[in-house]
Structure 1
Amino acid sequence: MEKHESLSEESDSEMECEDWDNSTIVHLQPKVEKRIYGFHLMPTCIQDPSTEPPSKQSKLSLELREALTTSTFADNFKKNWNNHKEFTVDNIELIVDPFKVCVIQNFLKDDFIINKVLEEFNELEWNKRNLDLYEFFQSSDLKHIDSKYTKIVYEFLKHNVKNWVQNLTGQELTDISATCSLYSDTDYLLLHDDQQEDRLIAFVLYFTGPRTWQASNGGALQLFSKDESGQPYAAVKNIVPCNNQFVFFQVTNDSYHQVSEVLNKNDCRMSINGWFHTKVPPVFNVPPYVPSNFGLFSNTSTKPQELDLDLESWINPEYLDSETAHYIQEHIEEHSEISLHNYFKEEAFQEVLNDLQHHNVNWTLIGPPNRRSYEVALEQETMPSILQRFINLFQSYQMFSLLKQYTDLDLTSVRFELQRWTPGCYSLLTDYDWSQKNELDLVLFLGCPKISSVIGGRIMYVSTEEEIQQALITLEPEDNNLNIVFRDTARITKYVSKYSSCSVYYLLICSYSE
């Protein structure tokens, strides 16, 4: 696995239990009246004051429901697990396609402790987790949690459930790591495979309260198929959260999954989740990723071209002024970036946008989705004429010469992509080519007149050692701003929320090299 892939996946799956120094600690309150589209909410968690305490005889012990502990069930499960055969019995489902996943309803016998864990979610310290791969809230490692009922569940998972899963799968399990996770409105976890060190069995125990979690609320655990080259391809199975539902699967080359965006302003998706570990770390044989032969992430670049065009017909005159160019150069030298508002003449910009919105452009969805998911225009020669001339502008000697005035860099080549973005699109750290550094990026958004019309979608220049909220440079989606960034770090584009009022917008990114 490439270094940058493993860095991203250190923080993947439904839990992460290391390094909270830079996290934002919040307290989940019983009720919050404020409702804001596109931002993390602290939704109401269920507290039932009428819950009666258990009898003294129960001693607050946990048990699996009876059907899960019989020898008949164990024998049947092991036979189907080993033979990769699906089966469904007594609210227990074994899925084998696209990879083996077991889904169990009514997992724990004792509803009292389940309800008490739900109440304790209101008292936990929640750390906001925000990286390229995810946005959600999370507790610290459960081995450090003192909440009474949560600790009971953790100990039960650590000993009883670990031994039970070990018996069913035939895998030797040695330890557990687990946290509590809370996905509020607009939270998500994008595609990953959980492969890291000695993780062997991933698990999730859901706590969603008495109300039925609808599929329309999002938050489903989505299982992904693979293409002919072994790369993740598409979501083919959705597992909708359900109270007291337990899901587990073996971490393998095929275990690509994600948590879809939560779309619920009143309830939240809550769970205890983590991994059972093994003594000898498994060996993963992940198929190598073959970079594309086009666009930003290829080795193909374009030299400056002799073209018959006039910068004055495209660019507002103040940005062609020598004094302005000198100011831009000084600013970039000090800050490594600048955003030039209303860079293109309004009439010219609107003609380009009209071509994008109302004329035929051949768009192709590119991936794989554990790296990126958005559409690109691959065939420049089939674009409408005005759009072709606009793209040519960025490859022209005239633009190279103007950028020389802006940056004092002797640029020799350019790679570019014209992209179409819709809700659900993103670009991850794994998409960044570490050999392509110290380049000059030109970034232009088209079709998003207001920053507020796009929730997410911001481009961030980040160091992999930092949290995304500490990004070095952030570019917000806004029309006709030419963003110039000298890049010596990674570049990602955050997931675009389904709450975005802008259903489609466009992005031109050009990367120039010396």
Structure 2
Amino acid sequence: MNCKRQRDDGENAEKGKKRKKREERVKLSPLLEDEDVKKGVKEAWSHRAQYSHGGLELDCHPFPHCIIRNFIQSDSFTENLQRELLDLNFHEKSNDLYKFNQSDDLKKRKEPHITGLRAALFGRFRSWLGEVLGVELEPTVDVSCAKYQYTDVLLCHDDELEGRRVAFILYLVPPWESSDGGTLDLFSTDDHFQPHSVVKSLVPSWNTLVLFEVSPVSFHQETLLLEWLNPLYLDVDYQSQVQQEFEDSSEIQLKNFLKEEKFKEVSEALRSTDVQWTKQGPPNRRCYEVASLVSFPQCVSACWELLCSEAFFLLLSNFTGLRLHYLSPSDEDEEEEKDQEYEEEREATGSSGDTPSANKNNKEPSTPLCVGELRRWAHGSYTLLHDGDASKAEYALDLLLPLSCPDWQTEFGGFTSYVANEEDEELLMVYPEENSLALVYRDKETLKFVKHINHRSSTLPIGDSCRRAVYDFSFVYYE
């Protein structure tokens, strides 16, 4: 029996050797093993800055992308990899957007060099990407080979699909010039996030990998958000946590929302005598002051524009799960994907007929809608409910961003109270809190008012003045 076991072990060892021959281990660029490089890329990516080291270059204009030259160390490996790829069966892909030939998914291919590359992409490279982006990437990696020949084309598009975080291209091309075409053109976007013009063209080069992040928060207006917001709230994973909490309670407060220096700058500017304030009435409805837009100091105007920007609409969509902008994901997107799959299946089988959602009304992209005020509150300020408020109530997301209220006490009043229509019981009270962004979703049966600010508020001086004033940006966003 001992001899038999030894023979079996030998046979197993031989089989193991054969299995190993099915995969050629690939060595990737040593830059991916360099901890200093990894740290530099991670920091630059998070701050949307530039970084370069050796054959690695990170640029965030017009959106974050990274170029890694000599991605695979071995010339013989890349040559054999190219040979294996060219021996695959390719299928012609052609429509209004593209014309090229594409292989099947490479997940199940057994060729040794394809298998080796796949193992590296799914393993070491995916781990490196996860560390650089600061997220836990799913193990799923879609990989195929595209072959472009004379007159082939892939026109302007985005790579956003549900669940996709990173897209990459590994070029295995002969010596290439820009005049040959085939450049990877990166577009700037306009105020509506539509492609505007090519600001950078990358010429394909042998053994070069280009990657870029695909994310709902890659608005191409991120510079505005990065300038103003606490970086914590731009983290995709943290946004998911915020959304979960908001969906559980329909309200949330995001503390230290603006960067400290920006918040202080706006707070100080609001106390400037240059700002023009107008008292709001009538007294049986409201009593507070609203700032004139034309009198805003520059930093206040910039903050106002931030809260009105399309980038901010998309950010709020991520915080709340509401569809406040036509680019934010919705339940309809899943239905559209099913329709597309149905259509592809129908074309493949030669059948005809409407798609499952063909009878639904096609919605045109809607323009983000919000209304806002910059308000000043002091002793004697308030708002009151009115008999006609219930008939005008809509589903909406309320935003409050208070300023200049570091020592505000609950007994001063000045809190926003939410109540059910025709009921006295308060559902929620939102108190003024310095640099804390409050988000509250209300339905048609929910009304709100601001509680009268009493004389106790004037006991806390600001500078040489004993008149206590609180400011807030108040916005309402609609789906």
| TM-score > 0.5, shorter chain as reference | no
Structure number with the higher helix fraction is 2
Looking at CA atoms only, which structure, 1 or 2, has the larger radius of gyration?
Answer: 2
What range is the shorter-chain TM-score in? 0.3 to 0.5
TM-score, length basis structure 1: 0.39
